[in-house]
Structure 1
Amino acid sequence: MILIKEFEFDAAHNLIHYHGKCERLHGHTYKLVIKLEGTPDKEGMIYDFVELKRVVKARIIDKFDHSYLNDIIEQPTAENIAMYVFNELKDVLKRENCKLYEVEVWETKTSGVVYRG
């Protein structure tokens, strides 16, 4: 099974190794999708949604929301943000019955990236 939890954060960035309008400072309302792969435990859950929200908020959202992402990730493309999030969460979300499966980062409603480690 795949468990899915969505998050949203607002942040600014500029792409310093890119030549085009995105090299200028600008912002997005990002959508972050966390997916865990696993089997239900004795309580019938892969992972408690409340606990997952707490972990992702503490490790990612509180750090990224209303921030300048270049202070955290040198070249904060959607691809690099997804890799960063995956690496920050993979160990803390790993349990006997589940593991981090996939991270999606959406910069706009039509533009995003999927990373599976």
Structure 2
Amino acid sequence: MNHSESAPPTCGLYTLKIQAQFCAAHALRDYPGDCRRLHGHNWKVETEVEAKVLNDIGIAIDFKAIKAATRTLADSLDHRFLNDIEPFDRINPSAENLAAWFYRQLSKILNGSGVSVSAVTIWETDTACVRYKEIAA
């Protein structure tokens, strides 16, 4: 008996995840502590992409595409003062706002053909991170 013929149909979700890094400085406006002063981090960006189906060769999206998009955005911030870069010249360059920015920018680039960005995690240090994903209102 062919196993695929007897197995009931299943519905699954694939989550692909990559990481990129960049170094950048920021100063949190109106913060009631030391973080209001200029300081830097070795940031880590974790991009998660979801897909329900695979293509003809058994992949959802090439990891290279996710890495390239994330790396391009990370490179645009690398060795920069985030407070000087749009939109962080107006909004605080907090880990939360960085995560939302990466999510929205990556969604413009990667969403389509059955895949979508599901979450972005920004690691400010090895022990502190924020994960952003959008939910239906």
TM range (shorter): over 0.9
1:43 match: 57
**What percent identity do the matched residue pairs reach?**
35
Cα shift at 1:50: 1.4
2:133 match: 116
CA contact (8 A) 1:16 1:75 kept: yes
Q: What TM-score results when the alignment is normalised by the length of structure 1?
A: 0.93
* Runs of 4+ that moved beyond 4 A: none
More strand by share: 1
Q: Secondary structure at the match of 1:92?
A: helix
Aligned length: 116
Structure 1: unaligned runs, 5 residues or longer: none
Q: How does 1:37-76 map to 2 (within 5 A)?
A: 37-38=50-51, 39-58=53-72, 60-72=73-85, 73=88, 74-76=91-93
- Pick the aligned partner of 1:5 from 7, 18, 21: 18
Q: Which moved more, 1:49-58 or 1:7-16?
A: 49-58
Higher RCO structure (Cα 8 Å, ≥6 apart): 1
Whichever of the two has the greater Rg, that structure is: 2
Q: What TM-score results when the alignment is normalised by the length of structure 2?
A: 0.80
Q: Which moved more, 1:40-49 or 1:75-84?
A: 40-49
- Pick the aligned partner of 1:92 from 91, 105, 109: 109
